[in-house]
Each structure stands twice: as C-alpha cells, then as structure tokens.
Amino acid sequence: MNKNIYMQIYNDYSAQVQSGSLSTGQKLPSENELAGAYRTSRETVRKALHMLSENGYIHKIKGKGSFVLDTQRMSFPVSGLVTFKEVSERLGRSVRTIVYENDCVPSTAEIRRCLQLKEPGPVWKVVRAREIEGEKIILDKDYFLTTYVPSLSLEAATNSIYEYLEQKLNLPISYAKKEISVEEVTPEDKLLLDLHDYQHIVVVRNYVYLVDTTLFQYTESRHRLDKFQFVDFARRVKN
C-alpha cells in the first residue's frame, strides 16, 4: 500500500483531513519541512500535495503555504468512483441490497451499443435494488463483458462488486465516465422500486474502462428523484 512515498504522504493527509483531525483552514507544514519529516525530496512532497489539491482536500497559495479545505460539507463523493457500499457506510444509515437478477444473458442491441460491442454475444447482468431506511430508492443495472467477468457469485453481488473485481479478479480499473439525466419512469422502475407517484427518475449512466482503455462495464443507476444528490469538485483551468 505504501510502496510509493508520495502515495504515503497523500494517504496520510487525506485521511487526516477526512477524519477531521486537521481542521478547516489549518496550515500544513511547508514543503521543505514535509520533505524533512518524510526524509524525501521536495518534488516528491509536491507531487503528494498536488494530488491533495486536485481532490479538494487542500488549497495551495503561492508564497504562503498549503491549507486544509472544508470537506465536511462535501457529504457525497468528492469526485472519482465511489461505490454504494462506501457511501452508505459513510452515511451510517441502515441499508440493504436486494438482488433481483444475477446471471448470463444474451446482449440486446441497446446493451451492445452501450458496451460498444460489434457482435452479438452474452453479457453478465446484475439487477439490484438499494433499500435505505426501509424504502427501495435506487435501482442498479450492471452489465459486464463476459471476457473479464465470466461469472459472479450472489454473495459478491450482494456486497460490493467493485471489491470483488479489484481484489479477487484483479481487474485494473482506470477511469469512468458518468452521464446524469432525468427520464420518465419505466414499468420496471415502478415494479422494483418504492417510487410513490413520481413520474420521473434520475438516471446515472456509468461507463467503466480498464487501463487498456477497453470498456468492460456499463452501469445504469436509477435514483428516486427526492433522494438523489451528486457533488462535484472542480478546479479552474486557466487557458
């Protein structure tokens, strides 16, 4: 885990900021001090601080130093790929996952388009509802390339698929693209979720890529309107 020095510094400080043991606005040690403390060079420290800055943990001011940002208010993912399990654990609510489907199915034209498949063939399909405080709020529909995910146990589907993919199958996940939009509810939504009388639903389409840039997973996450929230942290890039 701590193979790289700059990763170790990043992990140390991101943990401290998240746990609140460093308070908002507090000044970090200077780059030279950190270099001394970790017995490394200033450039290595700078790499860690740059990552912390990119991910919204700290803020650097030229001539002054690095300062802790307010992450308390960022309740949801600061950015990046965060799983339902991680989020719900952070929220500390009573959550439950109901697996409706978990098997190998022939791919429809729609799914082939999403997974950029040219030829017909099977895909692994998982349909799950997420129950929060007794209400089924989110419908997750996952599709995997059978090349990478030949099968999936019910246990893995009930817990965290990501954990299984990364730790057991050792799949090198690299990046993902999210699309958020609002669409009309389908009969399936009404059947599998506790929708009340909402006519629309928030759809988050997630395209997950491996390090070799192959698209291997497509996820459709359908959230009930009133329970949906998404938080994004963005830095201004000067032109």
Partner DNA sequence: GATTCTATCTTGTATATACAGGTTGTCAAA
Partner DNA sequence: TTTGACAACCTGTATATACAAGATAGAATC
Residues that bind a second copy in the complex, under the rule CB under 8 A: 1, 7, 11, 25, 51, 54-56, 59, 61, 67, 69, 73-74, 79-81, 173-182, 198-200, 202, 211-213, 225-226, 228-239
CB of 229: closest distance to DNA in angstroms? 31
> What is the per-residue DSSP string for 130-188?
EEETTEEEEEEEEEEETTT-S---HHHHHS-HHHIIIIIS---EEEEEEEEEEEEPPHH
Report how far residue 126's alpha carbon sits from residue 103's, in angstroms, rounded to the nearest whole number.
7
CB of 154: closest distance to a second copy in angstroms? 26
142 to each of 37, 104, 165, how far by Cα in Å?
45, 12, 13
Report how far residue 93's alpha carbon sits from residue 28's, in angstroms, rounded to the nearest whole number.
33
Between 57 and 84, whose beta carbon lies closer to DNA? 57
Between 27 and 93, whose beta carbon lies closer to DNA? 27
Between 96 and 227, whose beta carbon lies closer to a second copy? 227
Report how far residue 143's alpha carbon sits from residue 214's, in angstroms, rounded to the nearest whole number.
14
User: 116, 217 in Cβ contact below 8 A?
Assistant: no
Binding mask 20-49 for DNA (x = CB under 7 A): --------x-xxxx-----xxxxxx-xx-x
CB of 211: closest distance to DNA in angstroms? 8
CB of 20: closest distance to a second copy in angstroms? 18
Residue 63 interacting entry, from DNA, a second copy, none, C-beta within 5 to 8 Å by type: DNA
Residue 11 interacting entry, from DNA, a second copy, none, C-beta within 5 to 8 Å by type: a second copy
Question: Dihedral through CA 106, CA 108, CA 111, CA 113, nearest 10?
Answer: 130
Residue 58 interacting entry, from DNA, a second copy, none, C-beta within 5 to 8 Å by type: none
Strand partners for 210:
173
Residue 40 interacting entry, from a second copy, DNA, none, C-beta within 5 to 8 Å by type: DNA
Between 44 and 55, whose beta carbon lies closer to DNA? 44
Burial of 183 (0-12, 13-18, 19+ CB in 10 A): exposed
Residues engaged in binding DNA (CB under 7 A): 3-7, 28, 30-33, 39-44, 46-47, 49, 60-66
